[in-house]
Amino acid sequence: MKSKILIVDDEKDVEMLFRQKFRKEIKSGSLELCFAFSGDEALTVLDSEHPPQVVYVFSDINMPGMSGLELLEKIKNRFPQINVSMISAYGDSQNYEKAMNSGAKEFFTKPIDFDSLKKEIGALMSEKN
């Protein structure tokens, strides 16, 4: 079963990085990645399919326009079934608590520790299978 994951970050190079990091998983067809570079774009992506195929959203917090935390609230309101985890350069307790209270699954800090991210995604995939 293929898992579709959406990654939201205003830094476009994140896409290349993720695609290389999850190269094997993508190649084997067990993982599909899609990307959005702002909160608005992320909502558009989720809105484009009914129901959305995306099962997990990883979002940056600091973005121009809609912040990751606002996006989190909106996703949780409209698509409570989708898991959302935050990835932020600012790992302070204020951000952490706000994210957790709004229903975030995990809170990752930048620089991204891909090992723990892989574990998280691996757990998701095995859960699905």
Instruction: Summarize as ranges the residues that interact with another protein (CB under 8 A).
Output: 11, 13, 16-17, 20-21, 23, 62, 64-67, 70, 89-90, 92, 94-95, 98, 110-112, 114
Contact 72, 59 (CB under 8 A): yes
Nearer to another protein (CB atom), residue 55 or residue 66 = 66
CB of 79 to another protein, least distance (A): 21
Contact 67, 36 (CB under 8 A): no
CB of 9 to another protein, least distance (A): 10
CB of 119 to another protein, least distance (A): 16
| Beta-sheet strands, E only, within 14-82 | 31-36, 54-60
